[in-house]
Amino acid sequence: MNVHAELAAELAAATWRKATKSGANGGDCIEVAPLGGGRVALRDTERPDLAPYVVSGSVWAAFMDGAKNGEFDF
Overall domain count for the chain: 1
For residue 27, what pLDDT is reported? 65
Helices then strands, counting H and E runs in the chain, come out as 2, 4
In 3D space, the residue among 45, 49, 20, 14 whose CA is nearest the CA of residue 31 turns out to be 45
Classify residue 13: in a domain, yes or no: yes
pLDDT, average across residues 50-57: 95
With respect to residue 39, please indicate whether it lies within any of the assigned structural domains: yes
Q: Would 17 be classed as within a structural domain?
A: yes
pLDDT(21) > 90: no
- Give the integer Cα–Cα distance in Å for 6 and 13: 11
pTM of the complete model: 0.82
Residues of the domain holding 12: 3-68
pLDDT tens digits, one per residue of 26-35 = 667 889 999 9
Higher pLDDT, residue 2 or 7: 7
For the segment 5-17, the average pLDDT, to the nearest whole number, is 93
Q: Is the CB of residue 52 less than 8 Å from the CB of residue 41? A: yes
Please state the rounded mean pLDDT for residues 10-39.
85
Residue 74 inside a domain? The answer is: no
Q: How crowded is residue 65: how many other Cβ atoms within 10 Å of its Cβ?
A: 10
